């Protein structure tokens, strides 16, 4: 059992505590497998009535996944990256389909892989510290771990906006968009956990009693602009709409998108378009796995990790460098189904 994840039971509650504080609790393969194993152990245990997921110490719920492993593997044969994605996505799917209620406490940074842990859970607590984002286009990747399912189901074009820009949502915005189910001040979290551990059968009442009205969601002030300027399913048309607008907010988005990988942004738009039509979460994960195993070995991901995480010069040299140079043929290749023997399957 990995020490990066604390697995314990307290009365009728199974507890999963992310425990990599120096890495903001970013997921590695061992943590994903340990979560899978614990959920399987508790699935048939009638004494366990609910599951609680939080982080053990330090700030942040979960900053993402093991990007360095993915990059190093992607630069080689990609086998370790494929193994990581396969296990992580099985964990995401198990959380999504779990019959017992799961509570995720999104106190602090909740990004990338952390979103994949939190959003499948039935109860999702946001606080004033919550910062939720899928910033993958900035490193040549794309919002995965089920984001094609979740983001495509947000109101209007907010999902497309979040996928392309990597915008960070605060706790109030998470509540307004339905990404969080409850808003509880961080000072009250220990009390909430104590009550849940004492009587998980009263989960709904506990969360309702301790929740407070969330502050105003700032993103909604830009809802009209988001729906209008991000209305297209093609990156070129979105870029043209931003350029033609002339407003300060549109210019800010235009400048932001200019820093992102054109390939990753096109992959993200395609993912959300397809995700909106997926019949099941498992179907979504099958597609995301095929896409992830290819993108992780392409130039932009390796270059993005170099620029943002390794060298930290924040000057990635994307290739192709412009949206029009990322052809439909390339995107179709990335999204092609894997052979059955290589495809993702649920646990």
What's the DSSP call for residue 19?
-
| Rounded Cα gap, residues 316 and 301, in angstroms | 10
What's the DSSP call for residue 24?
T
- Taking CA atoms, 247 is separated from 43, 51, 72, 160, 243, in Å, by 53, 47, 41, 20, 9
Burial of 18 (0-12, 13-18, 19+ CB in 10 A): buried
115 contacts: CB under 8 Å, gap ≥ 6: 132, 133, 134, 143, 145, 147, 150
Residue 111, strand partner residues: 133
What are the residue numbers of the active site?
Answer: 65, 113, 136, 144
- Taking CA atoms, 266 is separated from 111, 124, 322, 326, in Å, by 20, 30, 11, 8
Q: Is the peptide bond before 236 cis (omega within 30 degrees of 0)?
A: no
Which backbone phi and psi does 286 adopt, to 5 degrees?
Answer: -60, -45
Q: Please provide the DSSP assignment of 276-296 as one string.
A: TT-SSHHHHHHHHHHHHHHHT
Nearest one of 4, 88, 98 to 51, comparing CA atoms: 98
């Amino acid at each position: 059992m990995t020490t990066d994840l604390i697995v314990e039971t307290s009365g009728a509650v199974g507890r999963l505590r992310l425990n990599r504080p120096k890495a903001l609790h970013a997921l590695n393969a061992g943590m994903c497998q340990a979560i899978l194993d614990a959920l399987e152990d508790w699935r048939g245990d009638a004494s366990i009535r609910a599951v609680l997921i939080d982080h053990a110490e330090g700030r942040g719920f979960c900053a993402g996944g093991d990007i360095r492993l993915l990059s190093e593997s992607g630069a080689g044969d990609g086998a370790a990256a494929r193994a990581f994605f396969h296990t992580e996505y099985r964990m995401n799917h198990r959380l999504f389909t779990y019959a017992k209620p799961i509570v995720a406490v999104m106190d602090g940074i909740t990004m990338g892989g952390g979103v994949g842990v939190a959003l499948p859970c039935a109860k999702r607590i946001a606080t004033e510290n919550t910062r939720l984002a899928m910033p993958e286009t900035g490193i040549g990747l794309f919002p995965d771990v089920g984001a094609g399912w979740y983001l495509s189901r947000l109101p209007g074009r907010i999902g497309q906006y979040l996928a392309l820009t990597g915008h960070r949502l605060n706790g109030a915005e998470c509540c307004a968009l339905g990404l969080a189910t409850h808003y509880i001040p961080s000072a009250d979290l220990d009390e909430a956990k104590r009550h849940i551990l004492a009587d998980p059968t009263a989960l709904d009442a506990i969360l309702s009693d301790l929740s407070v009205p969330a502050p105003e969601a700032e993103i909604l002030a830009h809802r009209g602009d988001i729906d209008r300027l991000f209305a297209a399913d093609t990156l070129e048309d979105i870029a043209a709409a931003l350029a033609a607008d002339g407003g300060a907010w549109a210019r800010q988005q235009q400048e932001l998108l200019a820093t992102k990988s054109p390939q990753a942004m096109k992959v993200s738009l395609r993912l959300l378009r397809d995700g909106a039509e997926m019949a099941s979460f498992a179907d979504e994960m099958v597609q995301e796995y095929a896409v992830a195993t290819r993108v992780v070995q392409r130039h932009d991901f390796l270059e993005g990790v170099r620029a943002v995480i390794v060298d930290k010069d924040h000057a990635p040299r994307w290739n192709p460098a412009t949206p029009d140079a990322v052809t439909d043929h390339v995107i179709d290749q990335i999204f092609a189904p894997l052979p059955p023997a290589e495809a993702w399957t649920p646990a």
